[in-house]
Structure 1
Amino acid sequence: MKRPGLKDVAEKAGVSIATVSYVINNTPSQSLSPETIKRVNDAIKELGYIPNLAARTLVNNKSNLLGVLIPQTESGKELMFSNPFYGDFMSAAEYTARKSGYHIMISGADSGQTYAEVARTRGLDGVIVVGMNDDEECRQLKTLNIPVVLVDSYCEVSGFHRVGVDDMQGGYMATKYLLEKGLRRIAHVTGHVNDRGVNFLRHKGYEKALGEYGVSPVKSLLLSGEVSFEYGCEMGEYLAGMDERPDGVFVSADILAVGLCMGLRGRGVKVPKDISVIGFDDSLLSKTCDPPLTTIHQDVAAKGAEAVKLLINENHTLQNKVFPLTLVERGSVR
C-alpha cells in the first residue's frame, strides 16, 4: 500500500500542500484558522500520514534530534551501559528532551572516528558529551556550530556548557569517612587513572584525605582498570588474597564496589567485619547490595536533565553547573 504524502493530506483536507506544511511544522509566521488546522490534523490522522523528519530538517534547518556521546570501555567494545550511572543519566535526559519535542540519539565513536564526526553526520541540533578529557576532541567539537554540553569532562578547551560534580571533593569525603572510623590501610579501586578526569580527581581526593591523617599512600593499594562489575569481583578476590589486607576500600563507582563485595565474600572475607567498603554514585545497586553500600551520592538524573535543558534553552551565556555531593551511610563500613 502506498504511503500517504503531503499531497494526499492536502486533497483530503481541501487545502494547499503549503498549508499542510505550515500545520505540520507549526510555522509561527502563518496565521491559520482553528478550523483549517483541525481539518488538516483530522486528515493526517485518518490517512495515517507520518511526516518525513529528514525532509523537515532540510526545510527548517532543525532536526529536533539531540546526540549523547558516551565513552566506550575500550576501543571496539560496547558502550558502558552495564553501569547504572548511564541508565539513570539517559533516562532523565530522554524524558526531558521528549517533553520539549526532541529525540535522543546515543552513540560512541568507532576506532579512528572523532565525536565531532559522529555529530556532524547526524544533523544534530545539539550534543551532550560524557567523560571528555581530550583537548583535540574538544577543539573539533567547537567547529560544529551547535550547542555542546560537556558532562563530567575535564578538557581544558573553553567555550562549552559544563555539568558535573566536584570529583576531588567526593574522593576526599569518602576516604576521610573511612579514616574517621579508625581505618588506616585504605585501598582505592577505580577506573583507569590518567593525568586528568573523574578517576584522577577522585584519586587526588583520596590522597588528600590520607595526607591530612598522616597516612602515606601505598602503591600496591591503588588498583585501576575497567569500571565494571567483573573487574570489581576480580579486585575483591585479589584483596582477599593479600598477605596484608586493607581494612578499608574506597571504590570510585558503585558498580565496582558491588562486584568488589561479591569477590571478597566469595573468598570468605566479610564486609564490613573484615574490610569496610565505600562506593560512589548512590545507584540502585548500592541499596540492593548485601550489605547495603555506604556511598557518595550524586544526583545523576539531575545531571542528565540539566544537560538537555542547557541545549534546548539556547542560553548563550556559558553555564558551569556543579551538583552537590552527600555521604549516604548504610551497612558496608564498620
Structure 2
Amino acid sequence: MRKITIKDVARNAGVSIAAVSYVLNGKESKVSQDTIARIHESIKELNYIPSITARGLVKNTSELIGVIIPQTEDHKQLVFENPFYSEMISAIEAVVREDGYHIILAGVDKGKTYLDISTSRNLDGAIIMGIYSEQLYEECKQANIPIVLIDSYVNDSDFTNVGIDDELGGYMATKHLIDNGHRNIGLVTGMIRKDGVVEKRFLGYKRALQEAGLFYNPDYVFENSVSYTHGRSSGTLIAEKYPEITGVFATADMVAFGLIRGIKEAGKEVPEHISVVGFDDISMAHMFLPPLTTVRQQIFLKGETAAKLLIDQIRKKRGAKAHGKKRTNIPLEIADRETVRKLH
C-alpha cells in the first residue's frame, strides 16, 4: 500500500502544499479557518501520519529525546531485566509525550561512546542514567545538547542532576535492622565503584554500623552484580555458612527478591530466621510474598522530575547546558512491610 504524503493531503483538501505544511508545523495563523478545517478533514480521511523527520527539518528539531542507560556491569541484559528502569522510563515518556516529544531508548556497552547516539539521531536532549565521571565530560559536552543526569555523582555545573541521597538510604536501611535488634548484618550488593550509587549505599551501611558501635566485618559484604541471580546465590550462602547473620540489606529490590529465594532454598525463612531490607520500592515489592520492607525512593517522581527539567532546558535555549544548576534530591522513606523481624 502506497504511503500517504503531504501532497495527497493537499490535493484531497484542494489547498496548496504550503498551507498543509503551515498547519502541520503550528503556523495556522498564516491560513484561514476554513482551510485549516479542510486540511484536518483531509488528514482524517486519508489517515495521514506526519513524518517526524520531515517535521524536524522544518522546525530544526528532531522531537526526539534520548534515554541512555550505560551498561556499567558485564552482565549486559541486567539493565533491561530490572523493573526499576521500566518504571523510570515510563515516567519520563509520560512527561515528554505531553510536550510532543518521543524517546529513543539506548543501552550503551562499557567503553562505548554516548556521542554517536546523540549526533546520529540529532537528539534535542538526553537523559543519562547512572553515569560515572570518567566516561562523561568531553563526549557529552561535545554533543552540545541539554543533558540531565539521573543517579550520578558527577559534580559539574554543566549538567543538571536528579537523584537521591544514596548514602542516607543505605544508612536508613541498615539502621532499620539495627533498631529492630539485629547486630550481625550482611550486605548484598552490586560492584562497589568509586563515586557510584552502590558505593554511597555501602558507605551508609558502614556509617549505621559505626554509629551503633557494631563491628564492620568485610566478610559480611557479598559483592557482585545488581541481579536476582546474585541475590539468590548470596541468600543460600548466608543461610548455610553464616548462621550468626540475622539481617541483610540488599542494595536493590531485585537483589532482595533473589536473596529471599536463596534463603528459602537453604531451608530457612524470612523473616523468621533472617530479616531482609531492599532498596527502590519497585511496584513488585508490595506484591512479593512476604511483602518486602525496603527504602522507597519514589522512582516515578525521579523520572518525572528529570524529564521536566530537560524539557525546560530545551524550551529556554536549544543546545544550551544548565550552567550553575544544583542537584535535585528526591526524598527517601522506609516502606515497612513484612520481611523484618524484631529481635527481643
TM-score by length of 2: 0.92
How far residue 285 of structure 1 moved from its aligned partner, in angstroms, is 2.3
Q: Secondary structure at the match of 1:330?
A: coil
**Matched residues in 2 for 1:239 and 1:104: separation?**
42
Please state how far the C-alpha of 1:223 moved relative to its aligned partner. Answer: 0.8
**Contact preservation (8 Å) 2:78, 2:226:** no
Q: Amino acid of the residue matched to residue 65 of structure 1?
A: L
Q: Which residue is equivalent to 1:19?
A: 19
Return the offset for 1:110.
3.9
Equivalent-residue separation in structure 1 for 2:37 and 2:74 (angstroms): 52
Match of 1:189 in 2: 188
Question: What does the per-residue CA deviation read over 1:25-45, in whole Å, with 9 as the maximum and x for residues that have no partner?
Answer: 1137x4322211111111122
Deviation, structure 1 residue 51: 1.7
Are the equivalent residues in 1 in contact too, given 2:157–2:326 (CA < 8 A)?
Answer: no
Q: Which residue of 1 aligns with 2:76?
A: 77
For residues 62-97 of structure 1, give each alpha carbon's deviation from its aligned partner in whole angstroms, at most 9, with x where no partner exists.
Answer: 111111011326357225122121111111111111
Q: Which residue of 2 aligns with 1:165?
A: 164
Q: What SS class does the counterpart of residue 232 from structure 1 fall into?
A: helix
Aligned ranges for residues 217-232 of structure 1 at < 5 Å? 217-232=216-231
**Aligned residue number for residue 269 of structure 1:** 268
- Report matched runs for 1:37-56 at 5 Å: 37-56=36-55
- Alpha-carbon contact 2:95-2:308 (below 8 Å) kept: yes
The structural deviation recorded for 1:320 is 2.3
Letter in 1 for 2:16: S
In structure 1, which of residues 300, 317, 326 is the aligned counterpart of residue 333 of structure 2? 326
Letter in 1 for 2:331: P
Match of 2:319 in 1: none
Aligned 8 A contact 2:190 2:224 in 1? yes
Once the two structures are superposed, the pairs formed by residues 43-192 of structure 1 within 5 Å of their partners are: 43-72=42-71, 74-75=73-74, 77-78=76-77, 80-110=79-109, 112-192=111-191
**Distance of 2:219 and 2:239 partners within structure 1:** 14
Which letter maps to 1:117?
D
Give the secondary-structure state (helix, strand or coil) at the position aligned to 1:277: strand
Q: Is the 8 A contact 1:65 1:103 kept in 2?
A: yes
For residues 52 and 176 of structure 1, what CA distance do their matches in structure 2 show?
A: 54
**What does residue 241 of structure 2 align with?**
242
SS in 2 for 1:45: helix
* Matched-pair contact (CA < 8 Å) for 1:85–1:300: yes
Output the CA distance in 1 between the equivalents of 2:161 and 2:105: 19
Aligned equivalent of 1:6: 6
- Superposition pairs for residues 274-289 of structure 1, below 5 Å? 274-289=273-288
1:285–1:108 Cα change, 3 Å: same
Paired residue for 1:291?
A: 290
CA RMSD of aligned residues (A): 1.7
- Structure 2 unaligned residues grouped into runs of 5+: 317-321
How far did residue 218 of structure 1 move? 0.6
Measured after TM superposition, the shift of residue 185 of structure 1 is: 0.8
- SS, match of residue 328 in structure 2: strand
* Distance change in 2, residues 1:138/1:245 (3 Å): farther
Partner of 1:199: 198
Contact 1:164–1:303 (CA under 8 A) maintained in structure 2: yes
Q: CA–CA distance in 2 between the matches of 1:110 and 1:71?
A: 6
SS in 1 for 2:248: strand
User: What is the alpha-carbon distance in structure 1 between the residues aligned to residue 106 and residue 96 of structure 2?
Assistant: 16
- Equivalent residues of 1:79, 1:108 under 8 A apart: no
Identical positions, percent: 44
Moved more, 7-16 or 206-215: 7-16
Q: TM-score, normalised by structure 1?
A: 0.94
Distance 1:254 1:64, change over 3 A: same
Counterpart of 2:241 in 1: which secondary structure? coil
Q: How far apart are the structure 1 equivalents of 2:220 and 2:44?
A: 64
* C-alpha spacing 1:198/1:208, structure 2 compared with 1 (3 Å): same
Question: Secondary structure of the residue that 2:70 maps to in structure 1?
Answer: coil
Quickly say closer, same or farther: Cα 1:75–1:173, change in 2 above 3 A: closer
Kept after mapping to 2: 8 A contact 1:187/1:222: yes
Change (3 A) 1:2 1:293: closer
Letter in 2 for 1:132: I
Identify unmatched segments of 5+ residues in structure 1: none
- The SS at the match of 1:241 is helix
Amino acid in the other structure paired with 1:249:
V
Which residue in the other structure is 1:252 paired with?
A: 251
Residues in 1 aligned to 2:11 and 2:279: alpha-carbon distance in whole angstroms: 60
Distance in 2 (CA, whole Å) between partners of 1:84 and 1:76 is 16
